[in-house]
Structure 1
Amino acid sequence: MRARDLLAAFPTITVNTPVLEAARLLAEQDLPGLIVVDERGRPASILPGTQVLRLAVPGYCQDDPALARVIDEQHADRFLDSLAGRTVRDALPRTPRELPIAAPEATVLELAALMARTRSPLVAVMEEGRLLGAVTLQALLDRVTGR
């Protein structure tokens, strides 16, 4: 099994995309993350859905989960409102990380190792400088578990 056998067309965003728009795309398409591309359409970063949450959830709630319990339900349900006016650039790590990019002939084990090493729920598949799509963690696990 190779990356080309598991890849699917995948939406892309840029660093200037509003992060609320990225959150909606993640939710509407049930995606684990998004591929952030540069002006040439090449992957520049991966934005996991958890990174969007990290930007939206107040730091004091991340540091002390008990504080999240004291927020009333009406306000707790609206925590994504804090993302208004922010872009994907704000959600990305300040220090660039290894990009999870693979060639179409990468094996399932190579993809799994890349996902594990980069802590990414998806791998961008590139050929000759062109983005072909992505392999998600779900697609990889479905294949290797026989689902």
Structure 2
Amino acid sequence: MRARDLVSDFPTVTLDTRTAEAARLLAEHGLPGLIVVDGEGRPCTILPGTQVLRLAVPRYCLDDPALARVVDEQHADLFMRELGDRTVRQSLPEQPRELPIADGDATLLELASLMARTHSPLVAVVEDGTLLGGVTLQALVGHSLPH
């Protein structure tokens, strides 16, 4: 089985998409991440849902998780409002890293290796410079297990 056989349509965002809108897409579609495309519609990176959370969680709670416990429930439930008008560009890690992008001919093992190396639950699949869609960790594992 090849990546193109496992690919599914995936919503995309751009670097200038508001992070709140990206979070809404993640929630509405139950996605582990989003494919970020450039102006030509080519994938330039993956935005894992955890990066969106990282931007929303107050810095002091990231630095000291025990402080999250002292915030009352009413205010704790509203932490996603901290996303404000920030963009996807601001959600991405500062350090460039290997991109979880694979060719349509990639095998399941190649996809698994790429996901493991990049710590990404989603791989964008490209063929001839065109985005075919994405392969999720769930789809990969589901097709890799013995039936």
Other-structure match for 2:19 = 19
- Report the 3-state secondary structure (helix = DSSP H, G, I; strand = E; otherwise coil) of the residue aligned with 1:80: helix
Alignment partners' CA distance in 1, 2:19 and 2:80 = 10
Matched, 1:108 2:105: no
- List per-residue Cα deviations over 1:100-138 (Å, max 9, x = no partner): 111111110000000011111111110110000111001
Counterparts of 1:6-85 in structure 2, within 5 Å, are: 6-85=6-85
Letter in 1 for 2:41: G
Letter in 1 for 2:23: A
Letter in 1 for 2:66: A
- List per-residue Cα deviations over 1:41-83 (Å, max 9, x = no partner): 1111110000000111012111211110100001000001110
Q: Give the structure-2-normalised TM-score.
A: 0.97
- Report the 3-state secondary structure (helix = DSSP H, G, I; strand = E; otherwise coil) of the residue aligned with 2:36: strand
Q: Give the structure-1-normalised TM-score.
A: 0.97
Aligned structure 1 segments of 4 or more residues deviating by more than 2 angstroms: none
Deviation (angstroms), 1:94: 1.6
Alignment partners' CA distance in 2, 1:146 and 1:80 = 39
Structure 2 portions without partners, runs of 5+: none
Other-structure match for 2:126 = 126
Alignment partners' CA distance in 2, 1:39 and 1:11 = 15
Deviation (angstroms), 1:24: 0.5
- Report the 3-state secondary structure (helix = DSSP H, G, I; strand = E; otherwise coil) of the residue aligned with 2:131: strand
- Report the 3-state secondary structure (helix = DSSP H, G, I; strand = E; otherwise coil) of the residue aligned with 2:52: helix
Alignment partners' CA distance in 2, 1:66 and 1:101 = 36
Count of aligned pairs between the two proteins: 147
- Report the 3-state secondary structure (helix = DSSP H, G, I; strand = E; otherwise coil) of the residue aligned with 2:71: coil
Bigger mean CA offset, 58-67 vs 29-38: 58-67
Structure 1 portions without partners, runs of 5+: none
